[in-house]
Structure 1
Amino acid sequence: MSDETLNGAAPAAGQPQATFTVEKLYLKDASFEAPNAPQVFNEQGQPDLQMKLNQKVQRLAENAFEVSLGITLTCNINEHNAYLAEVVQAGVFGLSGFDDQTLDAMLGIQCPSMLYPYAAAAIGQLVTTGGFPPFPMQPLNFEALYAESLRQRAEQGQQGGFLASAAPAGNA
């Protein structure tokens, strides 16, 4: 996947070519709690599911970034906590030759889009191993989520984005 050009256009002579590489994908953290088991298995009622996402970006080197996608899934039945599943799926990505705006978009859209299927699979495994019915996680539109985060930042008068918060490793 390295040596891809943006929008299929070749770089002009003398301009560096933009590259995007996936160096490593890994499960950084996972936990599962079923605090009311085994009684919760006898609960009748519609489960109330809440999902929260968060994303962190850390600059590892000039052209290397760790992107972490966190997913927390909470299930309550009749106001009793059935389970809490949390996963942080991460990856190290090489990005070079992008302007700051495009780089920020790549970190906010492309990288989490690649991590999400792995995180969803890990959540699904935790839930079923915990004795609960499978929870099929729907695809997410990270482009729309990124656009919303840009809108919120503009409303709050914040500059930057993922790049601004991506402190080099060891300097956080």
Structure 2
Amino acid sequence: MTEANAAPQVKMSVLAQYVRDMSFENMVAQKGLTGGDVQPDVQVAVSLDARKRGPEHQFEVINKFRVTSKNKTTGDTLFLLELEYAGIFHVEGVPDEQLHPFLLIECPRLLFPFVRRIVSDVTRDGGFPALNIDTVDYLALYRQELARRAQAPQPETVQ
């Protein structure tokens, strides 16, 4: 294969990463709930967003996490953590048809260890045991979103 026919080399670098928005609510402290029989049930919801930035080949990718802990016995919310963690990426050499999955699978995967650390630190500092969230399968998440969009009702076209 000649160099002219070779697949373009993918270049990707993380230019920046940061907390875009974060909120932690400790309902136990706010409402004065007492110990007793607490059996936490933790739910983690993840969504993603990616957008093109002004400079060529730059994209912002946002991991959005909503972590809710409720008491299994009473249903009372123990805490709520909402976190938007973003990265600015420089991406070159990815074919246009592969750019969307690349941005929503590979880029968030690179950011995830930082998200996990923040969630762990915030829950611990908020008065709860440190929560180490399970690794997110971004490929499965991407496929679920594609399936959801495929099943969504399409607007009717006027003939």
Scaled by the length of structure 1, the TM-score of the pair is 0.77
Structure 1 residues 76, 97: closer, same or farther in 2, change over 3 A? same
Question: How many residues were matched structurally?
Answer: 149
| Residues in 2 aligned to 1:71 and 1:48: alpha-carbon distance in whole angstroms | 16
1:90 aligned partner, one-letter code: A
Partner of 2:65: 71
Tell me how far 1:96 sits from its aligned partner. 1.9
How many angstroms apart in 1 are the aligned matches of 2:142 and 2:104? 6
Shift of 1:123: 1.1
Identity of aligned residues (%): 30
- Show CA shifts across 1:103-131 (max 9, x none): 11111100111111111111111111111
SS at match of 2:27: coil
User: Among residues 6, 13, 18, which one is paired with 1:26 in the alignment?
Assistant: 18
Counterpart amino acid of residue 143 in structure 1 = L
**Aligned alpha-carbon RMSD (Å):** 2.2
Scaled by the length of structure 2, the TM-score of the pair is: 0.82
Whose Rg is larger?
2
- The answer to whether the 8 Å contact 1:40/1:80 transfers is no
Aligned match for 2:50, one of 57, 78, 81: 57
Correspondent of 1:119 among 92, 106, 115: 115
Unmatched 5+ stretches in structure 2: 155-159
2:11 & 2:111 partners in 1: Cα distance? 18
Deviation at 1:157, TM superposition (A): 6.8
